[in-house]
Chains A and B, each alone.
Chain A
Amino acid sequence: MRTLPASIDDTLTLLQDGNYVADRALATTLFLSLKLGRPLFLEGDAGVGKTEIANVLSRTLGRRLVRLQCYEGLDVASAVYEWNYPAQMVEIRLAEAEGVRDRKQLASDIFSERFLIKRPLLQALEPDTAGAPVLLIDELDRTDEPFEAYLLEVLSDFQITIPEFETVKAKEAPIVIITSNRTREIHDALKRRCYYHWIGYPDAGRELSILNLKVPNAGERLSREVVAFVQSLREQDLFKLPGIAETIDWASALVQLDKLALDPQTVNDTLGVLLKYQDDIARIQGSEAAKILDQVNAELAAVR
């Protein structure tokens, strides 16, 4: 278990120890959010490593990870808490059989912690011996506005009001990471309470070090070629550009196929790992892929 980083450099080291290659901008924002106890709002295209940050933090800091996956219509019952109705019914019947007549007593029995089913947001407010947990609110853009509005109370005061029970307040604020794919704009009121960071695609150098960390058994030449190919693919006019997750997947796939270097046939066969839209694949497959590959090889030869 580690303590929270004391400086931006510490934060960078922390992320590195967790096998996460970050740039200084991200480390700065993360440091601020850890230091000042504000949520970190990460936005970026799919597969650039937004969710991974929460995993890395939980691993390196030894905190519990509480994950809330968002979807449209997410409500309090599945995000915050729910009462265990069947058990409550049984309790009422038991009280009846025993002849308990005190209504107040019964009400406080029924609505007690025993019957409370805790969902992620409530779990995140609970004290933990290892320190406050890491709360990951994933793909917030998938929910609708009402839930976003509900989050305002939770994220500014770290407390949740349960009308039948009590107001639960966190002794220590959890480390909150919110991610969004930007399929819809998140309201300013929520963003205002967070530190915002846009995670873009990495440059070739950083992508190579990520690949070396994540797929260590890929050969040096293969890694370089994969990175150069993906980098030039990102300059094409595609509907969905490949993210880092796709680069890693592709490299692992090529390792599984025992490839030491790229060749046009392999690229065509495995393009589905990299591109997820048929139009994009149709555009790149064949001559275009061969062209990019030639270019990549020429560039790499020039460097050597």
Chain B
Amino acid sequence: MAEDTGRLPDNIMHFGRVLRAAGLPVGPGRVIEAVRAVEAAGIGSREDLYWTLHAVFVNRRDQRELFDQAFHIFWRNPRILEKAMSILLPTFGTEADDAPQASEANRRLADALFPTEKQVAEEKPQEEETLLDAAFTFSAREELKHRDFESMSAEEIEQAKKAIAQMRLPIVDVPTRRFRPNPRGRRVDMRATLRASMRTGGDIIPLKRRSRIRRHPPLVVLCDISGSMSRYSRMFLHFMHAVTNDRDRVHTFVFGTRLTNVTRYLRQKDVDVALADVSEGVQDWSGGTRIGACLHEFNTFWSRRVLGQGALALLITDGLDREGTENLAFEMERLHKSCRRLIWLNPLMRYEKYEAKAAGARQIVPHVDEFRSIHNLESIADLASTLSRSWPRTEEATATTWGAVA
């Protein structure tokens, strides 16, 4: 590329567009900056070019991997690029679960570089990429909302994942013991009042007011990833990733035969990298379930650390326990007593006549504040609206919510 400097700005522009399509916030301003930066730094070596562009385009650590791959694919001989396209193409459009985890980020880049088969031959496929997005119209979304995750095709699952990534979980705020200035507050802020009165030399003492700061309580998610939940768990991981990145004070755990804290993995902003990390860190995918034992582990080692300050707990499981369930009721009771509110999300609730008949489910039911289904996009959205309503404290809620559902 060095010999043909005349085309370099063009190439940088195309590279910028590829990055943008792959999800990096790259605007025209950035591209101009990049061209200037490359002019200033010179293009002595490939490594220099790499770090120059890196300095301009990457501003968060988790964008690095995407940039790295895009760079190596893009800044090569165009011949190799074409070959790379043909290599990448077969994986494109196949069922999501079949593709190996490690190539998730790759696949997204492939999406950005070569959105559909027909446009491969063309130089600038980015326009069509946006069109593709727009094709997922409102009516399609509407239909998708009611479709059970279990019966979705690979493509629909992809779309649902996108919808989930947009979701926010508005948990109701609770008052804290801290204050902030508020002209309509109910308390007088003496300090601000006196300071204000000094401005007039003490002639006038204008009353300054303050009110309590409200803040959402911590959220703890416990998700079952055993075999019986396998069709759902991937979707829930996307959900948990969206929730974890949306706010602070979220702790995420998955359990099958053992309990794993995946909060750190899910903090990773890039969903593909995060999920790849999770599947590497978790060893009991799609195995059996030992709900009682896992809750015991949670109660002993984690509850005191993550359930402080009035946390809200979401338990996602179908309640089908492989092992004996004698401990389960006891552990559920302890979990219930250590959090502000415990919500059980059960994908089996999609059947209208579902009753908690399985031995495990029967042990869980008496100890939850609320029992909801979670099997399609709509039920996730419903959950959001429940959480944004204010609720009575745990003790009073137990009996009332329970009569109706069980």
Q: B187-211 vs A: 1/0 string, CB under 8 Å?
A: 0001100110110111101000000
Q: Are B197 and A184 in contact (CB under 8 A)?
A: no
Q: Are B198 and A183 in contact (CB under 8 A)?
A: no
What's the least CB distance linking B342 to chain A, in Å?
Answer: 18
Q: Are B308 and A95 in contact (CB under 8 A)?
A: no
Q: Which residues of A contact B178 (CB under 8 A)?
A: 73, 75, 144, 146
A-B contact count (CB 8 A): 61
Q: Are A92 and B205 in contact (CB under 8 A)?
A: yes
Is A258 among interface residues, defined by CB-CB distance under 8 A? no
Q: Are A164 and B195 in contact (CB under 8 A)?
A: yes
Q: Are B176 and A73 in contact (CB under 8 A)?
A: yes
- A279→B177 CA distance, assembly (Å): 33
Is B353 among interface residues, defined by CB-CB distance under 8 A? no
Smallest CB-CB separation from B202: which chain A residue?
A: A92
- A184→B334 CA distance, assembly (Å): 19
Stretch at the interface among B54-62, B87-95, B231-239, B299-307: B299-307
Q: Are A83 and B198 in contact (CB under 8 A)?
A: no
Is B151 among interface residues, defined by CB-CB distance under 8 A? no
Query: Assuming the A-B contacts A72-B177, A73-B177, A146-B178, are A85 and B190 also in contact, with contact meaning beta carbons closer than 8 angstroms in the complex?
Result: yes
Is A118 among interface residues, defined by CB-CB distance under 8 A? no
Is A198 among interface residues, defined by CB-CB distance under 8 A? no
What's the least CB distance linking B208 to chain A, in Å?
Answer: 12
Q: Are B176 and A83 in contact (CB under 8 A)?
A: no
- A85→B197 CA distance, assembly (Å): 12
Smallest CB-CB separation from B309: which chain A residue?
A: A72
Is A185 among interface residues, defined by CB-CB distance under 8 A? yes
Q: Are B305 and A185 in contact (CB under 8 A)?
A: yes
Q: Are A239 and B194 in contact (CB under 8 A)?
A: no
Q: A79-109 vs B: 1/0 string, CB under 8 Å?
A: 0000101001100100110000111001100
- A146→B178 CA distance, assembly (Å): 10
Q: Which residues of A contact B309 (CB under 8 A)?
A: 72, 144, 184
- A72→B190 CA distance, assembly (Å): 22
What's the least CB distance linking B188 to chain A, in Å?
Answer: 9
- A26→B280 CA distance, assembly (Å): 37
Q: Are B201 and A88 in contact (CB under 8 A)?
A: no
Contact residues on B (Cβ < 8 Å of other chain), bracket: 20 to 34
Most chain B beta-carbon neighbours within 10 Å: one of A75, A95, A111, A183:
A183
How many chain A residues have a CB neighbour from B under 8 Å?
A: 29
Is A182 among interface residues, defined by CB-CB distance under 8 A? yes
Q: Which residues of A contact B176 (CB under 8 A)?
A: 72-73, 144
Q: Which residues of B contact A96 (CB under 8 A)?
A: 202-203
Q: Which residues of A contact B198 (CB under 8 A)?
A: 103, 106-107, 110-111
Q: Are A106 and B191 in contact (CB under 8 A)?
A: no
Q: Are B201 and A239 in contact (CB under 8 A)?
A: no
Q: A31-53 vs B: 1/0 string, CB under 8 Å?
A: 00000000000000000000000
Query: Assuming the A-B contacts A85-B194, A110-B194, A164-B195, are A183 and B308 also in contact, with contact meaning beta carbons closer than 8 angstroms in the complex?
Result: yes
Query: Assuming the A-B contacts A83-B191, A85-B191, A239-B299, are A92 and B305 also in contact, with contact meaning beta carbons closer than 8 angstroms in the complex?
Result: no
Choose among B177, B202, B304 the residue that contacts A106 (Cβ–Cβ < 8 A). Answer: B202
Q: B166-191: which have CB < 8 Å to A?
A: 176-179, 190-191
What's the least CB distance linking B297 to chain A, in Å?
Answer: 11
Q: Are B201 and A183 in contact (CB under 8 A)?
A: no
Q: Are B177 and A184 in contact (CB under 8 A)?
A: no
- A182→B305 CA distance, assembly (Å): 6
Q: A172-212: which have CB < 8 Å to B?
A: 182-185
Smallest CB-CB separation from A163: which chain B residue?
A: B195
Q: Are B202 and A183 in contact (CB under 8 A)?
A: no
- A125→B198 CA distance, assembly (Å): 28
Q: Which residues of B contact A83 (CB under 8 A)?
A: 190-191, 194
What's the least CB distance linking A29 to chain B, in Å?
Answer: 23
- A183→B302 CA distance, assembly (Å): 9
What's the least CB distance linking A258 to chain B, in Å?
Answer: 37
Can you list 18 A-B pairs, Cβ within 8 angstroms, ordered by A?
A72-B177, A72-B309, A83-B194, A85-B191, A88-B194, A92-B205, A96-B202, A103-B198, A103-B201, A106-B201, A107-B198, A110-B194, A183-B304, A184-B306, A184-B308, A184-B309, A239-B300, A279-B330
Pairs of residues from A and B, 8 with the lowest C-beta to C-beta distance, nearest first: A73-B177, A103-B201, A85-B190, A92-B202, A107-B198, A183-B308, A183-B304, A184-B308
Further 5 A-B residue pairs, CB within 8 A, beyond A75-B179, A184-B305: A88-B194, A92-B205, A96-B202, A144-B178, A237-B300
